Structure 1
Amino acid sequence: MSDCIFCAIVAGDAPARIVHETERTVAFLDLNPATRGHTLVVPRAHARDIHDVAPADLAEVATAAQQVAAAAVDELGAAGVNLIQSSGAAAFQTVFHLHLHVVPRYAEDGLVLPWVPAPGDAADMDAAAGQLRAALALR
């Protein structure tokens, strides 16, 4: 879709800190991270939400999210992970391309869900993306 920012990221037409790619998915850092390493996993094929996605794409999104979650624990020192998927404006979906948030959790990180999005520190995001990218390349 020409007006979908996630489709533009998948196509390489918009910048993103991509940490993992498969045949069916792309994972990249959220520009407004809830915590360090907050990653979005999206299907390459545009799907508006959970009701619109092909089952095989949804399965691959879940598998990629599991891999990103493991990398966040192993490489970023996360103590846990929240997986969040919102479908529809009433559920806080703001970009209408299916995406699964992988939110690393740290002891006493102070995050209260839902978080208030705010821009992340670019240098820290670059470092976290590099760490996740390296860990995921080994999986």
Structure 2
Amino acid sequence: MCIFCSIAKKEIPSHTIYEDDQVLAFLDINPTAVGHTLVIPKEHCDSFLDCPPALRDHVFEVAQQLAKKLETALHCDGIHLLSNMHEAAGQSVHHFHVHLIPRYKDDQEIVAFHETPNIDFEDLKEKLQ
């Protein structure tokens, strides 16, 4: 069984900070930062790509509300909002979830973006349109 489904069904305890009939949000047990929160749909979806649009939208509405609360309560300077899709992108639990990770100006956990040389942007654009 999916660990997040078990958490949503209250079979496994969590530090829940938000719950409604469709969504649950709880503190990550292996946080990257204090306040690292996971927002999940209670209905099982393997990833963002599989989540029904209305449910996906509600997950992000809740994430937005909680991001505002995190900023206010923790006085952080920013928040990472991310969702990993598939193992190559770092998805370790195959249940759609959104990470909210508080960030501070001096922390060292910023996601680094690096230049990728030799991209044929025209070819890529055609493939993606």
Fold agreement, TM-score > 0.5: yes
1:114-129 → structure 2 map (5 Å cutoff): none
Name 2:89's counterpart in structure 1: 91
The whole-number CA distance in structure 1 between the counterparts of 2:15 and 2:86 is: 25
How many Å separate the matches in 2 of 1:90 and 1:76? 31
Structure 2 residue aligned with 1:46:
44
Letter in 1 for 2:63: A
**2:108 is equivalent to residue 110 of structure 1:** yes
| Separation in structure 1 between the aligned mates of residue 73 and residue 110 of structure 2, nearest angstrom | 23
TM-score, normalized by length of structure 2? 0.83
Specify every segment of 5 or more residues in structure 1 that has no aligned partner in the other structure, as ranges.
Answer: 115-139
Note the residue ranges of structure 2 that are not aligned, 5 or more in a row: 113-129
Separation of aligned partners in 2, 1:102 and 1:49? 16
Aligned identity (percent) is 38
Per the alignment, residue 11 of structure 1 pairs with 9
CA drift at 1:15: 1.2
Partner residue, 2:78: 80
Aligned amino acid, residue 37 of structure 1: G
Larger Rg: 2
Flag the structure with more relative contact order, 1 or 2, with Cα contacts below 8 A and sequence separation at least 6: 1
- Matched position secondary structure for 2:49: coil
Aligned counterpart for 2:20 among listed residues 22, 37, 46: 22
1:111 aligned counterpart, secondary structure: coil
Aligned partner (choices 60, 63, 66) of residue 64 of structure 2: 66
Mapped partners of 1:31, 1:112: distance in 2: 20
Q: Secondary structure of the equivalent of 2:48?
A: coil
* Two-structure CA RMSD over aligned residues (Å): 1.1
| Runs of 4+ in structure 1 over 4 Å off | none
2:3 and 2:81 map into 1 onto residues whose CA distance is 21
Distance in 2 between residues matched to 1:56 and 1:43, nearest whole Å: 11
Give, in whole Å, the separation in 2 of the partners of 1:96 and 1:53: 12
1-side partners of 2:111 and 2:30: how far apart?
A: 14
